[in-house]
Amino acid sequence: MKRRSFLKNALPASITLPAVLNGFSVQAFTEANPLVQALMGNTTETDKVLVIVQMVGGNDGLNMVIPIENYGNYYNARKNIAIPQNKVLPLNGTAKTGLHAGMTGMQTLYNEGKLAIIQSVGYPSPNFSHFRATDIWMSASDADQVVYSGWAGRYLNLEFPNFPNGYPTAQMPDPLAIQIGSVATLELQGPTFPMGMNITDPTSFYDFLDNVGDPVPNTPWGKELEYIRMIMGQTEVYSNVIKAAAARVTTQGSYPSDNRLAQQLRIVARLIKGGLKTRIYKVTADGFFDTHANQVETGDTTTGDHARLMARLSDGIKCFMDDLKGLGIEDRVIGFTYSEFGRRINSNSSRGTDHGAAAPVFVFGKKVRPGIIGTNPTIAADPKQNDNVPYQYDFRSIYASILRQWFCVNDGDLQTILFKNFQNIPLCINEACGLTAVDDLRNDGEQLIINYPNPFVETTKVTFTTKGGHTLVQVMDTMGRVVKTLTDKEYTAGTYTVTFDAYGMPNGVYYARFQNGVTQQVRPMLKTR
């Protein structure tokens, strides 16, 4: 890309401060930014804040949220890495599901009613490339669709269609969104302009507050860097408001100094309490979650690389939540975690796991509807090496539910932002939106989809019970891919039967996925000769 084009696309809509917050570079979304306009603009008046936590690398969801009710099959599938059943952390109100032994902070949040666990989050045709899968999650695109804007960026663009003209304004003098990390995220990219501000890392943040700048090398590159800094210095309004917000907060809770995620979240809490109107913060979990080998230590599967990742994630979010409470702002903030994909059901011979499909998502905050949403993943007694966890919830349903319930986005705008309609999952408590009431979580105990015969040779009858309204029945293979859609339409309440014709398809396990309103269930089916 030519330098002129780079400056045109990168500088006007987002300003990168090399040394902004605790050594993390911060990218702030300007008021001219569509995302900012969306979050703070004419359609929505809100003081709510969303924190996005990315777990880079593909997290092993089965060793994070453990299916106690199916522990035998879980253990058989991954004997060399399985968490011992007596070390699984229990959760109040359920004997079916527990957490990794290192996640005591998340266990406490769950038991305090500040954590929702969404089971088996994915999408119909999972991609197992780190780069492509990350793009899919950030853009909220279908797997076969390439989109160059992010879901949050499109939201802002819809709300503030004139961006970047006329910003900042007296109504919104602050960055619209802040990302802690040096590389701008696709999530916050609008259709035309980037819409956020980056803080490189926590150290750079505190250097920024103290007016300590990185030295400029005496090279042609250094001269260009100096010029870019001069341009940024001409737009000091965002730097000044960040400094002013940080200066208002002199006391915070305790955070571990060796936990990079915790230090990022410490900055977020400080800026929220300091009065910034910024609506979205993006942070990155400490470490790399691509645990192909040495995921656990020999002799103790509760220790090792994955255990350290789980503990840092859990401790960082728990410290953040405690700090928000101490600062008196916990009612205003929710957050969620995600990774680009999960891992396979079976472990490998290197005490690790390979790229997989669906995995759990955590949604945290005082105003979160707590509990476990969905059911434990189905694990066969003898899963094959390439078997995956089939998805129950489309990840875009989480985005849609948060935008609807936390930022009060209407259904028509949601379809524009996310390209199609997605179900409403009960995640947030926000009386201002008036759209959070849910009376239809039917996953616990009631069997809503069955098939007969099972096993079957070529065809089987799939029977489902719908409460009425839009109803979807899909069939997935063990790679987590949707291979057939049996029905996708509006129904009146009742029980119906459709046929799954598997003629010409390989023998093995298939999964029938039923979705109706906020409810879905997954039914394993076996095709034999």
- Could you write out the DSSP letters of every residue in 465-476? EE-SEEEEEEEE
Of 91-105, 222-236, 257-271, 355-369, the one with minimum mean pLDDT is: 222-236
Check pLDDT > 50 for residue 15.
no
Cβ atoms of 49 and 42 within 8 Å: the answer is no
Residue 463 in 3-state DSSP?
strand
Spell out the alpha helix ranges (H) of 167-304: 202-209, 220-233, 237-247, 260-273
pLDDT tens digits for 22-75?
A: 444 444 444 444 443 444 444 456 789 999 999 999 999 999 999 999 999 999
DSSP state of 114: -
- Cα radius of gyration (the chain): 23
Tens-place pLDDT, residues 367-417? 999 999 999 998 988 888 889 999 999 999 999 999 999 999 998 999 999
Q: For 272-289, what is the mean pLDDT?
A: 93
- Arithmetic mean of pLDDT, 294-305: 95
In this predicted structure, the answer to whether residue 431 has a pLDDT above a threshold of 90 is: no
Q: How far is CA 328 from the centre of its chain?
A: 25
- Which tokens belong to 420? 């199609």
pLDDT for position 411: 87
pLDDT value at residue 510: 92
Q: How confident is the model at residue 297, as a pLDDT?
A: 96
Let me know how many helices (H) and strands (E) the chain has, helices first: 13, 21
152-197 tens-digit pLDDT: 989 878 877 776 666 666 766 677 788 888 777 899 888 888 777 7
Percent of the chain with pLDDT over 70: 82
Least confident of 26-35, 413-422, 475-484: 26-35
In this predicted structure, what is the pLDDT of residue 1? 38
Domains annotated for the chain, with CATH where assigned, are: 49-418 (3.40.720), 449-527 (2.60.40.1930)
Distance CA 243, CA 284 (A): 22
Per-residue confidence at 234, pLDDT binned at 50, 70, 90? very low
Q: At what angle do helices 104-111 and 305-327 cross, to 10 degrees?
A: 40
Q: Return the minimum-mean-pLDDT range out of 138-142, 265-269, 386-390.
A: 386-390
pLDDT over 70 at 354, yes or no? yes
Instruction: Report CA torsion sign: 310, 403, 155, 236.
Output: negative
Q: What is the mean pLDDT of the chain?
A: 85
Our CA dihedral for 358, 359, 365, 369, rounded to 10 degrees, sits at: 60
Residue 12 confidence (pLDDT) above 50: no
